């Protein structure tokens, strides 16, 4: 576990340092980029690895769902009804 260092009498940062982090336009651009549907869509289309990975996962999940249904249908076809003789 790490210890937290607290500076009680820390010097105040200069006005240039404060102004460097006081950029609300960049903040709003990042917000729109990561949290709006248009930004997320653009990010996925630009980054092909993530898009391909998501498509592969979706296809794999669909494959898992439909293979069970197909195997059950094949088992039903392979079973022959047994007639009981009285």
Burial of 81 (0-12, 13-18, 19+ CB in 10 A): exposed
Question: Is residue 28 a part of any domain in this protein?
Answer: yes
Question: Is residue 37 a part of any domain in this protein?
Answer: yes
Does pTM surpass 0.85?
A: no
Question: Is residue 50 a part of any domain in this protein?
Answer: yes
Question: Is residue 14 a part of any domain in this protein?
Answer: no
* Residue 31 lies in domain: 21-75
Question: Is residue 63 a part of any domain in this protein?
Answer: yes
Query: For the chain, how many structural domains are there in total?
Result: 1
Question: Is residue 40 a part of any domain in this protein?
Answer: yes
Question: Is residue 15 a part of any domain in this protein?
Answer: no
- Per-residue model confidence as pLDDT tens digits over 27-83: 898 888 888 888 878 877 788 888 899 999 999 999 888 877 766 766 666 666 666
Question: Is residue 30 a part of any domain in this protein?
Answer: yes
């Amino acid at each position: 576990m790490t210890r937290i260092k607290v500076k009680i009498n820390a010097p105040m940062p200069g006005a240039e340092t404060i102004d460097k982090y006081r950029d609300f336009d960049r903040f709003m651009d990042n917000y729109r980029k990561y949290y709006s549907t248009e930004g997320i869509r653009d990010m996925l289309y630009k980054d092909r690895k993530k898009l391909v990975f998501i498509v592969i996962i979706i296809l794999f999940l669909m494959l898992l769902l439909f293979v069970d249904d197909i195997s059950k249908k094949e088992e039903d076809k392979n079973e022959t009804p047994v007639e009981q003789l009285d």
